[in-house]
Structure 1
Amino acid sequence: MVGHTASDVPPTMAVKIFSAGVAACVADIITFPLDTAKVRLQIQGECLTSSAIRYKGVLGTIITLAKTEGPVKLYSGLPAGLQRQISFASLRIGLYDTVQDFFTTGKEASLGSKISAGLTTGGVAVFIGQPTEVVKVRLQAQSHLHGPKPRYTGTYNAYRIIATAEGLTGLWKGTTPNLTRNVIINCTELVTYDLMKEALVKSRLLADDVPCHFVSAVIAGFCTTVLSSPVDVVKTRFVNSSPGQYTSVPNCAMMMLTREGPSAFFKGFVPSFLRLGSWNVIMFLCFEQLKRELMKSRQTMDCAT
């Protein structure tokens, strides 16, 4: 990201990738119930039976889930979620500065180079981490209340069943909407955070420290949620669908629009923002501090030797 670190030596690419992966995992563990609530609200409307449980609001969804299926259900799919952060967030965030430098021709990075970096790292990370996304969403969405037994008994069981029943391509189901979603998220999240942090530091409103990182992360989280919500809902519906339920991603979007209206594309917006906003704050604060501490430790070790 923009700005000087606490040490005189900028963090290496390996430090950035490691810090991004750890910070993303910490953020995921803390905010995972909000993500589960978001998924349940997004798929609400697919089950048209009168006996289906209706979720109302973020807190209502979390409480209803905890009461009807147990508190542990709020963390269903967490192992896949952590695998996703390790394979996905570590690359899209950790490689952002390096790729941005590659696209930068002058002394300072332009908006175009920042966007290009976000597009590149987001796209590459999606293809690598898509199977973890598919498993995470399906485990979060499945409920023992809607059938005699759940589709999957656990994370690795889900990988095996999906690969067996739907082929290896089933693990990459929904790559197109997820690619669109994550390109939007990556560009908006990282570029907005970068620009806000740079503006606050250059205008001397805030120093390059925790308050600056906090404000930049909140603004980045809100902008990202607004732009990515419609694609996120379609992605969740398509990834969670049974084989043959939707013929394509556009068909999924059209059926949503026809059956539920335009508001369906913003289902789960509040938990999406609460989750993405809080995730951004936790991740960026941990990321920035972890980078600094690792580089300080490295400098100390270099001095000692």
Structure 2
Amino acid sequence: MVGLGPADVPPSAAVKFVGAGAAACIADLFTFPLDTAKVRLQIQGEAKASAAAKGSAVKYRGVFGTITTMVRTEGPRSLYSGLVAGLQRQMSFASVRIGLYDSVKQFYTKGSDHVGIGSRLLAGCTTGAMAVAFAQPTDVVKVRFQAQARSSGHARRYCSTIDAYKTIAKEEGIRGLWKGTAPNIARNAIVNCTELVTYDFIKDMLLQSTPLTAMSSIVLLP
């Protein structure tokens, strides 16, 4: 009797949800130092005026120059400052942004096999906005950790991830954990549409123009 083999059974929404978050966490482990360097370069402009007034030179120059400076002045561990919050962010953010994309797309198309560009774009915007609204506190804490220096000349404001959540909520209110939500939603809605919709189209084109679809339907009988 011909039936669906294990490879022919589509993954459930839960599998996609967890798989997307786990994959994003693995990627974050490798790219976190680059993200930390990016944050340091972004916030350097805030202190540029005061540094110029004191006659101090610019501390960070370029991505790899920033990484080298941080390792020399703060130690290698500084490159992974905020990693726990970063993994929390990826597990919650990517799970919603990527893992729920197909489910939301099917919701908008009401299960139809024909999916237009409008439905794909709408699904990308929706999951991108949902992910930011859900995971913004983890993003705020991650960036705060990446921004604070570990050198002895600077007092560390946050001792741990939990302490950062508590301190921000206590000093800035619960709304402080959702600072920057609006621009982040706008940014990630665009990114999500660009990434996932492009991936979706390329995947469909490959399946239609290659024998992958025909091969996947072949079931070997004993």
| TM-score, length-scaled by structure 2 | 0.84
> Which range moves more in the overlay, 88-97 or 47-56?
47-56
CA distance in 1, matches of 2:206, 2:137: 38
SS at match of 2:143: helix
Q: Which moved more, 1:46-55 or 1:13-22?
A: 46-55
CA shift, 1:37, in A, is 1.1
- Corresponding position of 1:95: 100
Q: How does 1:148-297 map to 2 (within 5 A)?
A: 148-204=154-210
Deviations 1:127-181 (A, max 9, x none): 1111000000010011145954022122111111111110111011111111111
Which of 133, 137, 142 is equivalent to 2:139?
Answer: 133
Q: Does 1:13 align with 2:6?
A: no
Change (3 A) 1:46 1:6: farther
1:79 is aligned to 2:78: no
Q: Residue type of the partner of 2:188?
A: N
Q: Secondary structure in 2 aligned to 1:138?
A: helix
**Other-structure match for 1:56:** 61
The AA in structure 2 aligned to 1:68 is T
% same residue: 59
Residue 31 (str. 1) matches residue 36 (str. 2): no
Structure with bigger gyration radius = 2
Residue 201 of structure 1: how far off its partner (Å): 3.7
1:200-227 CA-partner distances (Å, limit 9, x unpaired): 34333x969xxxxxxxxxxxxxxxxxxx
Distance 2:60 2:137 in 1: 27
Q: 1:25 aligns to what SS in structure 2?
A: helix
* Cα separation, 2, equivalents of 1:43 and 1:16: 35
Distance 1:203 1:59 in 2: 42
Deviation at 1:120, TM superposition (A): 1.0
Structure 1: gaps spanning 5 or more residues: 209-305
Q: Distance between the aligned counterparts of 2:163 and 2:17, measured in 1? A: 29
Where does structure 2 lack aligned partners over 5 or more consecutive residues? 214-222
Look up the match of 1:67: 72
How many residues were matched structurally?
203
CA distance in 1, matches of 2:18, 2:65: 36
Aligned to 1:143: 149
Structure-2 change in CA distance of 1:118 and 1:75 (3 Å): same
Cα RMSD, aligned residues only: 2.1
Between 1 and 2, higher relative CO (CA 8 Å, sep ≥ 6) is seen in 1
Paired with 1:72 and 1:53, the residues of 2 have a C-alpha distance of 22
